[in-house]
Structure 1
Amino acid sequence: MDLDVGDAAAEFQDFFERHYAELARLAHLLTGERDAADDLAADALVALWHRWDRVRAAEHPSAYARGVVANMARSRIRSAVRERRRVALFWAHRSERVDDPDVPAIVDIQGALRILPFRKRACVVLRHAFDLSERDTALALGISVGTVKSQTSKGMAELKRLLGSRTATELVGGMR
């Protein structure tokens, strides 16, 4: 049964209203950028609207949407890394360099998350901040459940190492 455009629009609007905040929160936790998170979530929802027939036919539309956000966040992070490298190359050729910059000693949870490679960060965020099951996390990221288990475990171990005596699990869970 095909939906007419009005029915599809109403169905999408309902999906948007139910999932926008969650998708923006996921984007924020993956990128560490609050302003960019709203843009990423909006861009992801535009992309979902353009493929709405495919999305609504998916077994888990919200997992599909999380996957779109994760992929867009990954692309944004890669672009930012490339830009930072270009800036670093520019400044590396300048003569007035500081050899020993003053780096803050305190590492907060967002800073620690940004240190993690994308897949570990995504697994930790989806499992602990979003309380998704291993299966739902695997669906959202397009990876196996075993990969989710290993990446989450390794990510949490790294967070615990980075955060010292603070409990990483409590901090990640407290990001809601």
Structure 2
Amino acid sequence: MLLHDASVEFHDFFERHYAELARLAHLLTGETDTADDLAADALVALWQRWDRLRDADHPLAYARGVVTNMARERIRGAVRERRRIALFWSRAPERAEGPDVAAVVDVRTALARLPFRKRSCVVLRHAFDLSEKDTAAALGISVGTVKSQTSKGMAELERILGARAAGDLVTGRRSR
């Protein structure tokens, strides 16, 4: 009977939070298919620990942390693979002169240019409207680090997108 109750509880958790976790993964990685995979993998990991997590104070915060860590590992793996390919072909990366116009216009591209921790803080604080405390819990960092990384991340987005576009991002007004 207990296994059935746990299964029902987890199914309810899955139904309520899968889309949000996939959206978080998408904003962190910029890849739709990868985001779906990461959300599913994170939920499998949660199911394996559900007996302990179901009584936790904030299982969603833990789930966000799992997605964030998996996204970080996915990005690191992709970077390592690109480096191996570049070394194999012995070709120096091409240098672009001037700002990348597409990156200035596209918020996702601009987010991808942020270092992972800043991106995570900006996404959780502004796209998911989490408090500093909830963001800190999801990322396993201090509230002070969340404040600092969010501020620095937003400053970088302002530099990339322009102050008006970055302000629109925070207030939820996206102009096209």
Pairwise same-fold verdict (TM > 0.5): yes
CA distance in 2, matches of 1:17, 1:99: 45
- Which among 35, 39, 42 is matched to residue 41 of structure 1? 39
1:102, distance to aligned residue in structure 2 (A) = 10
Structure 2: where are the runs of 5+ without partners?
none
- Offset from partner CA, 1:35-62 (integer Å, 9 cap, x none): 1100100000000000001211221111
- 2:90 aligns to what? 92
CA distance in 2, matches of 1:99, 1:117: 20
Scaled by the length of structure 1, the TM-score of the pair is 0.89
- 2:146 aligns to what? 148
Equivalent residue of 1:132, what SS?
Answer: coil
CA distance in 1, matches of 2:20, 2:173: 15
Q: Which segment drifts farther, 13-22 or 111-120?
A: 111-120
1:124-135 aligned at under 5 Å gives the runs 124-135=122-133
| Residue type at the aligned position of 1:123 | C
Structure 1: where are the runs of 5+ without partners?
none
| Residue type at the aligned position of 1:105 | V
Alpha-carbon spacing, 1:45–1:165, altered in 2? closer, same or farther (3 Å): same
- Which among 106, 116, 123 is matched to residue 102 of structure 2? 106
CA distance in 2, matches of 1:169, 1:99: 30
Alpha-carbon spacing, 1:52–1:40, altered in 2? closer, same or farther (3 Å): same
Across the aligned residues of Structure 1 and Structure 2, the Cα RMSD in angstroms comes to: 2.2
CA distance in 2, matches of 1:109, 1:167: 9
Equivalent residue of 1:167, what SS?
Answer: helix
Equivalent residue of 1:69, what SS?
Answer: helix
- Which among 62, 80, 83 is matched to residue 60 of structure 2? 62
CA distance in 1, matches of 2:11, 2:99: 45
- 2:120 aligns to what? 122
Q: Which segment drifts farther, 55-64 or 134-143?
A: 55-64
CA distance in 2, matches of 1:89, 1:101: 23
Q: Does 1:82 align with 2:93?
A: no
| Residue type at the aligned position of 1:106 | A
Scaled by the length of structure 2, the TM-score of the pair is 0.89
Q: Is residue 58–residue 64 contact of structure 1 (8 Å, CA) maintained in 2? A: no
CA distance in 2, matches of 1:16, 1:100: 43
1:169, distance to aligned residue in structure 2 (A) = 3.5
